[in-house]
């Protein structure tokens, strides 16, 4: 590695690799410093090892999946969006397929192929990538970037720097929140960091249901008794509470409300296709099947078998009781539980399990047209380190790619002006 470059990129995740490649493509001498033993470790485990690369939803729908200010990404998405990342991967021999929900995956089903494709692409553009290179500090003089310090005190000098260190979640992948510390030391404000897209700890919890995945249910989120959002799809029971796509998508709103001291609960409609009346009629009809048709049989016809004993205990019903003998109140209680299986929030999973970090470097201090710091000359940001977060569905990686592209391009343009 040399001692001076035009541009240093900290972090060889998706944002850093795209940023480095884009800047090198325009003639900049670029080095990417990655602290782990391999580039893009997190990318390699995304989408349960399959990597949901991006989403093909139209722009207006796409940005609705991003908080807190999706319009901040207008220029970044305008410069580089879903089709462009697919083109780059295609150029590197990584074919993609679009699945349910417009989600794009590598055709091979391997996140590793995406990671290796991006590394090769960045190198092909001329970027140098070094592993085992933890940056420990940024050298700044008169509000301008001068370079970085590595853990062995080596100094690498460059007039431009992109912080692409990712968030704080899954720290074993290398994303330990260093970029927030660097930015803070340079005077930037960090919007409160919270784990997002993560499991919710509930009371009661049902460890005996661990692994039970409910499909086609509707999960509603209530804050202080008021419904604030809902999601249709899958909910998974865990030993601590609930997880799965619906819960992940509701998790940030739930976590924010919970951390503000509000009472939060989830209500799962196990039979969203049936109204209360329809359910009542169905139970009435089933009850005519004869005295030997027990409550246990009725519940087994309505629910996954693991949930039957939970219902019997909660409703204080004997499994051997004849369904025909259920009182009006008992039938109503059963229907209410089917339509609203309630779970109070008592906490959430931490950084080790959260898919992303909400919060980050304040958008007010970044120029959305360039991704440049408004405080320090030559400093740029890309990826999850910025106060932007997306839902599950490929949105977070697209944020990383697009902000990376714009940051790399802007840094290269600035270098040309010098
Ligand atoms: C389990 C899991 C599954 C996910 N699945 C998906 C998915 O399918 N689709 C999707 O869109 N999003 C998914 N995400 C989110 C997505 O992976 C992240 O949003 C994305 O990786 C962020 O990219 P980034 O480049 O900003 O940061 P990162 O990918 O976190 O990369 C940052 C890099 O910087 C390096 N670094 C940090 N500090 C230093 C330092 N001081 N010196 C040198 N290097 C440093 C890190 O080692 C790391 O390699 C998933 C996340 C997880 C945890």
For the segment 141-183, what is each residue's pLDDT rounded down to a tens digit?
999 999 999 999 999 999 999 999 999 999 999 999 999 999 9
Cβ 384 under 6 angstroms from ligand 1: yes
Residue nearest to atom 14 of ligand 1 (CA): 46
Cβ 82 under 6 angstroms from ligand 1: no
* pLDDT tens sequence across 275-292: 999 999 999 898 888 888
Residue 124 falls inside a structural domain? yes
Half-sphere exposure at residue 56, Cβ-oriented, CA atoms within 13 angstroms: 12
* Lookup: tokens for 256: 């924010």
Checking if the pLDDT of 2 tops 90, the result is no
Residue 338 falls inside a structural domain? yes
211, 86: one domain: no
Mean pLDDT over 57-81 rounds to 97
Residue 162 falls inside a structural domain? yes
Residue 56 falls inside a structural domain? yes
Cβ 174 under 6 angstroms from ligand 1: yes
List the 30-33 sheet strands across, edge first.
Answer: 128-130, 30-33, 7-10, 160-163, 379-381, 372-373, 366-367
d(CA 340, CA 331): 14
243, 173: one domain: no
Q: What is the pLDDT of residue 236?
A: 98
Residue 1 falls inside a structural domain? no
The residue out of 349, 377, 393 marking a domain boundary is 349
Domain of residue 160 covers 7-195+352-417
Q: Supply the mean pLDDT for the chain.
A: 97
252, 327: one domain: yes
Cβ 34 under 6 angstroms from ligand 1: yes
Q: What is the pLDDT of residue 1?
A: 87
128, 217: one domain: no
Q: What is the pLDDT of residue 287?
A: 81
Closest approach atom of ligand 1 to CA 54 = 11
Share of the chain above pLDDT 70, in %: 100
Closest approach atom of ligand 1 to CA 47 = 8
101, 138: one domain: yes
Closest approach atom of ligand 1 to CA 48 = 3
How remote is the CA of residue 66 from the centroid of ligand 1, in Å? 17
Cβ 25 under 6 angstroms from ligand 1: no
CATH number at residue 130: 3.50.50.60
pLDDT category at 39 given cuts 50, 70, 90 is very high
Pairing of strands 213-223, 226-237: antiparallel
Cβ 360 under 6 angstroms from ligand 1: no
Q: What is the pLDDT of residue 21?
A: 98
360, 331: one domain: no
User: Taking phi first (over 0 means left), then psi (-120 to 50 degrees means alpha), and beta for anything else, what does residue 297 get?
Assistant: alpha
Cβ 393 under 6 angstroms from ligand 1: no
List the 54-55 sheet strands across, edge first.
Answer: 54-55, 103-106, 96-99
Q: What is the pLDDT of residue 418?
A: 83
* pLDDT tens sequence across 356-392: 999 999 999 999 999 999 999 999 999 999 999 999 9
* pLDDT tens sequence across 120-140: 999 999 999 999 999 999 999
Q: What is the DSSP string of 366-378?
A: EETTTTEESSSBT
159, 179: one domain: yes
Cβ 170 under 6 angstroms from ligand 1: yes
307, 374: one domain: no
Q: What is the pLDDT of residue 196?
A: 97
Residue 283 falls inside a structural domain? yes
Mean pLDDT over 236-257 rounds to 97
The residue out of 349, 368, 400 marking a domain boundary is 349
264, 396: one domain: no
239: helix, coil or strand? Answer: coil
171, 83: one domain: yes
- Distance between start and end Cα atoms, the chain: 24
Share of the chain above pLDDT 90, in %: 97
Cβ 403 under 6 angstroms from ligand 1: no
Number of structural domains (the chain) is 2
The residue out of 331, 349, 367 marking a domain boundary is 349
Angle at 291 between CA 290 and CA 297, to 5 degrees: 85
| CA-CA-CA-CA torsion sign (131, 132, 133, 136) | positive
Q: What is the pLDDT of residue 359?
A: 98
- 71: which residues sit within 8 A by CB, 6+ positions away? 63
Checking if the pLDDT of 340 tops 90, the result is yes
Q: pTM for this structure?
A: 0.95
- 411: which residues sit within 8 A by CB, 6+ positions away? 7, 19, 23, 28, 160, 162, 378, 380
29, 159: one domain: yes
Give the residue, out of 396, 401, 403, 406, with the most ligand 1 atoms within 8 A of its beta carbon, to mutate for a pocket test.
396
237, 297: one domain: yes
């Amino acid at each position: 590695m040399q001692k001076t470059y035009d541009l240093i990129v900290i972090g060889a995740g998706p944002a850093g690799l795209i940023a480095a490649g884009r800047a090198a493509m325009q003639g900049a001498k670029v080095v990417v410093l990655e602290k782990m033993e391999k580039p893009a470790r997190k990318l390699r485990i995304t989408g349960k090892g399959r990597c949901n690369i991006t989403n093909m939803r139209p722009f207006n729908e796409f940005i609705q999946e991003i908080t807190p200010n999706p319009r901040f990404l207008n220029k970044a998405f305008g410069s580089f969006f879903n089709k462009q990342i697919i083109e780059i991967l295609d150029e590197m021999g990584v074919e993609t397929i679009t699945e349910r929900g417009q989600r794009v995956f590598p055709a091979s089903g391997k996140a590793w192929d995406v990671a290796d494709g991006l590394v090769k692409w960045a190198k092909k553009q001329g970027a140098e990538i070094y592993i085992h290179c933890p940056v420990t500090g940024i050298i700044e003089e008169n509000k301008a970037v001068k370079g970085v310090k590595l853990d062995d005190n080596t100094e690498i000098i460059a007039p431009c720097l992109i912080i692409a260190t990712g968030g704080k979640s899954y720290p074993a992948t290398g994303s330990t929140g260093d970029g927030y510390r660097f930015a803070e030391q340079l005077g930037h404000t960090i919007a409160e960091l919270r784990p997002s897209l993560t499991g919710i700890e509930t009371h009661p919890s049902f460890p005996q249901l661990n692994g039970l995945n409910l499909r086609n249910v509707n999960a509603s989120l209530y804050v202080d008794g008021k419904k604030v959002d809902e999601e249709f799809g899958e909910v998974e029971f865990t030993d601590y509470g609930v997880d799965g796509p619906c819960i992940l998508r509701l998790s940030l709103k739930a976590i924010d409300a919970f951390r503000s001291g509000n009472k939060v609960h989830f209500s799962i409609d196990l039979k969203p296709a049936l109204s209360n009346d329809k359910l009542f009629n169905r139970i009435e009809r089933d009850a005519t099947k004869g005295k030997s048709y027990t409550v246990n049989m009725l519940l087994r016809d309505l629910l996954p078998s693991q949930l039957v004993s939970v219902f019997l205990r909660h409703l204080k019903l004997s499994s051997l009781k004849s369904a025909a003998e259920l009182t009006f109140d008992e039938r109503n209680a059963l229907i209410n539980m089917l339509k609203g299986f309630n779970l109070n929030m008592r906490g959430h999973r931490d950084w080790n399990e959260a898919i992303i970090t909400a919060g980050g470097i304040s958008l007010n201090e970044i120029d959305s047209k360039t991704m440049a710091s408004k405080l320090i000359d030559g400093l740029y940001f890309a990826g999850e380190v910025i106060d932007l977060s997306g839902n599950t569905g490929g949105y977070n990686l697209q944020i990383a790619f697009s902000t990376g592209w714009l940051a790399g391009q802007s840094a290269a343009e600035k270098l040309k002006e010098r």
